[in-house]
Amino acid sequence: MKKVLVLEDESSIRSFIVINLRRAGYEVIEAETGEEALEKLEHHRDTRVALLDVMLPGIDGFEVCRRIRAGNANIGIIMLTARAQEMDKVTGLMTGADDYVTKPFSPAELTARVDALMRRSGGGSEANDGEIRQDPFLLNTRNRTLEKNGQRVKLTQVEYAIIKMFMENPGKALSREEILDMVWGRDYFGELKIVDVNIRRLRLKIEDNPTNPTYITTVWGYGYKWGF
């Protein structure tokens, strides 16, 4: 069963989300506070996607995200934000979320986002098992891991998908739309901005000097290129 955690303090919104996810075939774990969410995740370690409301009575959704991410790189995390200002904070803090949804959202939109993350965190069918080596990087597509100079780089599932896409397309300029399609899927409803947020975070992890990136280079007005 595919498990999703829903953290939302407002019970009407929570039920709305839970009902729709169950209808879509997910097993749903509910939490009303951040503390409860962290505790429940301890007991349900096979949870593959977490939906985290930002504004909560105790620790906020960003803090929950940070704590989840500290111990688990594989879980997909979607932030539920009430306002655009909160998204600025998501961008600014880059707490490790893979995606965000702004309230109010439709059931179809939410389910599509969860489906997309679920597909990536599934681990399932990799077409070409093995390794892609582009010094100083080594991508292992069986274990879904990345090493730089022999050192493991901890990646989220989305970051892994982005790196894999780049390493399979070295030297090719990829538009932000293409990246969104390849990484998030064609049925994805999100905004292009999420591409930039994830690439910025990825640069912090893999570039020698993130302010002057040499591996993931920007193609102005278009997108990005794996600069080999």
**In the bound complex, what is the minimum distance in angstroms from residue 56's beta carbon to Ca ion?**
6
Which segment (24-32, 48-56, 153-161, 177-185) binds Ca ion by CB under 5 A? 48-56
Of 80 and 199, which CB lies nearer to Ca ion in the complex structure?
A: 80
Scan residues 110-129 and list those touching Ca ion (CB under 5 A).
none
Strand-pair category, 76-81 with 49-53: parallel
Of 86 and 99, which CB lies nearer to Ca ion in the complex structure?
A: 86
**Among the listed residues 65, 82, 62, 81, the one whose alpha carbon sits nearest the alpha carbon of residue 73:** 65
What are the structure tokens assigned to 120, written together? 């990536």
Which segment (19-27, 54-62, 66-74, 191-199) binds Ca ion by CB under 5 A? 54-62
Beta-sheet strands, E only, within the chain: 3-7, 27-31, 49-53, 76-81, 99-102, 131-134, 137-140, 145-148, 151-153, 173-175, 216-219, 223-226
Residue number with the shortest CB distance to Ca ion? 55
CB 36 within 8 A of CB 64: no
| Choice from 4, 37, 53, 86 touching Ca ion (CB under 5 A) | 53
Scan residues 55-74 and list those touching Ca ion (CB under 5 A).
55
**In the bound complex, what is the minimum distance in angstroms from residue 5's beta carbon to Ca ion?**
15
Q: Kindly give the residue spans of alpha helices, DSSP state H, lying in 24-173.
A: 34-43, 61-71, 84-93, 107-121, 157-168
**In the bound complex, what is the minimum distance in angstroms from residue 194's beta carbon to Ca ion?**
22
Which segment (51-59, 101-109, 126-134, 194-202) binds Ca ion by CB under 5 A? 51-59
Q: State how far the Cα of 126 lies from the Cα of 179, in Å rounded to an integer.
A: 18
**Among the listed residues 174, 172, 143, 5, the one whose alpha carbon sits nearest the alpha carbon of residue 77:** 5
Q: How many residues bind Ca ion (CB under 5 A)?
A: 3
Of 50 and 155, which CB lies nearer to Ca ion in the complex structure?
A: 50
Determine if 9 is a binding residue for Ca ion (CB under 5 A). yes
Question: Which residues make up the interface to Ca ion (CB under 5 A)?
Answer: 9, 53, 55
